[in-house]
Chain A
């Protein structure tokens, strides 16, 4: 369509800031025009510009107001949807005069425009749902009062540990009685699945590549410190994308779960390192799905595939690294998954637990039942719809997937029906710590039946001050422009992040979670073993949810 009249400016196809999710509030009086905000904005949502303004001035020995037209420097918000403000507030962070901040616009229509070029909106983060999750609605209502004394989290002995790995039923243990004592019959005669005793909250899979070097290293250093100095056996999953070769050959490998996903990225290096490994990894995780983007494979955008990442993953630089949605060998769970579990087990001489990770789904029980019959399957990890990701289509994140609470619960109760609740540990994740309640969410999942709880996004927020939230704030993880230096491979950005500080915060987070778990378990009279499946301890303020989860309703 032609403009209505000759050179008249066409404003018709422009958006106003009101269409956007975040509106920049800029205070001209406070601004000293230093330009830091515009330089720091990761999406160039603001720019310096000039305007002609009619201004009133009073000058002279006897000031007399007079009007002048002057050119002034201003900060203006760009309304191009490709450069729309993401609300990260990096501008606020760098402004010396508190002159600028983004404000959430509840009436925005930004999703209407996030499909330019016929491409769906891609982002990082997790499901944009700021409502209170089921995990946060669960309350611990069975408090030990008088009929049974509450324990003392500060003084009584506690053992907050869980098991990762297939646990043999007692009838199958190679144990017999000799002279009134139990003795183990030569274990060589029987396959005893490897089991790791770990802290029940683990660091979920976030790849080196998705995370910047200081972020990944910071978490890894924190994990090593927690194990070696604090005596807290926290394990960390690698994500798909391999691990630094030196780490693979170090004694610290035992604190890491190596992930293999459909792209097999990083596995050349891992296989090459196998003969040189001085320790076995904590476990091998076979990724079949991810709660944030069920049905999708991994995706590392080209802008994040720099030299280091390309080297570790064994790929050329600057190419999109998309893992296929399914493993190429996958034809049936009976055949392929079992084979993959066995192959991985065999690679480490059956000394390492191997388990699959799936996204939350109505079909989780079918997977579970298959694994329950596979003596080599070490666990099942279920990632609920609120799990995070470094890059995915918005539609996958917001609309696909199954909430973790009921998915986990039905799987646990299925195991109970089969009497295998202690044999196949369930690992639950997806939305843990969404509102900062890491220990409470973890404890609730444990009481619903999880043996281990996996957490990722929360750690980015807690240890590296990630801006992301469920109002779609920031969520630039896929672009390589993370303003905190967490999910970027650009040295200019990631040098902002101090790996030592990330490590320190990781240690603080887990130590605090340990204390808080004790503060939850102690009043409920539990201290020795993790209260897995202690559903009588939980209540919720919704009858339908209570019924679905098999717990009590309390209001």
Chain B
């Protein structure tokens, strides 16, 4: 099983906090990999917030390809972060891990941000296409103020391998997932968290409705709905589709993936008619779990929700200014030991927990109350 550790905070925190939380939940994961996505970056990226950051790893050939491509497209390299690697037993180092901040081409800078987002995504997809066949280049995210790191191995070891305990890289939001893929091949593109145009999720559990959801998303005509090396990638794309493409408020994500089953439940809601239409039109995006989903949106809101039977664990706890969203309570204890544990939230089947940017306020929205 996977284990999830997310932190949202008013102050910058080290990703090592999330990794140590994963370590406390080690009985629940097999230590086969680590994925980290950080948003609202501190450290050396704090002053580069307006520049998109390309995260990935490549071979020498891949990096040359990347440089040539970015140059050709008019992206100007502003800052390059490469972790100083510490040799760790069991982790085979790849050649170049990178997080590079670029200045966007002039033509893009003059356009609306949404258009610019499309260019960034298109650039990432083209780079992925260039480097995937010979695995010379992997790129995970290309977006302002977001950094992603992925590697196969025990999460704690991977953290040490990248020297994440040095404090060089910090962020206000950090999503960490321990374990690589379950039923699909272990592959960097299959590793959570998944990110698309500011929307990011990581998931615990397998998605039994994966194939129809994948087919539905892939047929939306949106180039970013691709990949799907993991059944969990669709959760990020459903979020993107519901909120960004369809313009729904975030909490309707819950109504999309776990629609209310009974008419009597729907009729309790003031938006019943809209829900009925949605349930029909978005029928292929319904999940049956077992899943716990943790994610964030472009404005820095973090959330946690479950499948309709709550078949995977999840807990939210903390204090104003710092909250942890974890698979298990020991993870919350690791990050925020001093808190009122009686206020910890264990979201149930109808709940959608959101934490406002900078961890100011926690809201539990119950699907039945609408």
Contacts and interface: CB of A to CB of B under 8 A. Distances in A.
Contacts of A528: 258-259, 261, 286-288, 308
Nearest to B280: A167
Contacts of B281: 167-170, 173, 422
Nearest to B215: A416
B368 to A, nearest CB: 14
B277 A173 contact: yes
Contacts of B221: 419
Given A528-B258, A528-B261, A528-B286, A418 B219 contact: yes
A212 B211 CA distance: 44
A144 B290 CA distance: 10
Interface string A149-167: 1010000110100010001
B258 A422 contact: no
A183 B274 contact: yes
Interface in B235-278: 245-249, 252, 258-259, 261, 270-271, 273-275, 277-278
Nearest to A422: B284
A550 to B, nearest CB: 10
Q: Label chain A's interface by main secondary structure.
A: loop
Nearest to A527: B288
B365 to A, nearest CB: 10
Contacts of B288: 151, 525-529
A145 B230 CA distance: 18
A534 B283 CA distance: 13
B208 A524 contact: yes
Contact of A195 (B210, B278, B280, B284): B280
Given A418-B219, A529-B286, A536-B210, A184 B274 contact: yes
Contact of B270 (A142, A181, A526): A181
A325 to B, nearest CB: 36
B311 interface: yes
A156 B309 contact: yes
A144 B183 CA distance: 11
Interface in B196-211: 205-206, 208-211
A531 B210 CA distance: 10
A177 B277 contact: no
A535 interface: yes
B47 to A, nearest CB: 34
B34 to A, nearest CB: 19
Contacts of A175: 274, 277-278
A119 interface: no
Given A167-B281, A175-B274, A529-B286, A422 B216 contact: yes
A533 interface: yes
A335 interface: no
A151 B309 contact: yes
A171 interface: yes
A180 B271 contact: no
A417 interface: yes
A533 B277 contact: no
A177 B261 contact: no
**Candidate in B209, B216, B252 with the most chain A CB atoms within 10 angstroms:** B209
B263 to A, nearest CB: 9
A535 B209 CA distance: 10
Contacts of B209: 526, 529, 531, 534
Given A182-B271, A416-B219, A147 B206 contact: yes
A532 B215 CA distance: 11
A533 B249 CA distance: 29
**Candidate in B210, B212, B261 with the most chain A CB atoms within 10 angstroms:** B212
A421 interface: yes
Contacts of B261: 157, 159, 528
**Candidate in A421, A526, A528, A533 with the most chain B CB atoms within 10 angstroms:** A528
A148 B205 CA distance: 6
Contact of B219 (A157, A168, A419, A524): A419
Given A163-B283, A421-B284, A528-B288, 6 more contacts: A147-B182, A151-B288, A157-B308, A170-B281, A181-B271, A421-B215
- List 3 A-B pairs, minimum CB-CB distance, nearest first: A525-B208, A419-B219, A182-B274
Interface of B: 1, 182-183, 205-206, 208-212, 215-216, 219-221, 245-249, 252, 258-259, 261, 270-271, 273-275, 277-278, 280-284, 286-290, 308-309, 311, 370
18 contacts: A167-B281, A168-B280, A170-B246, A170-B278, A173-B274, A173-B277, A177-B249, A181-B270, A182-B271, A182-B275, A419-B219, A419-B220, A421-B284, A527-B288, A527-B309, A528-B259, A532-B283, A532-B284
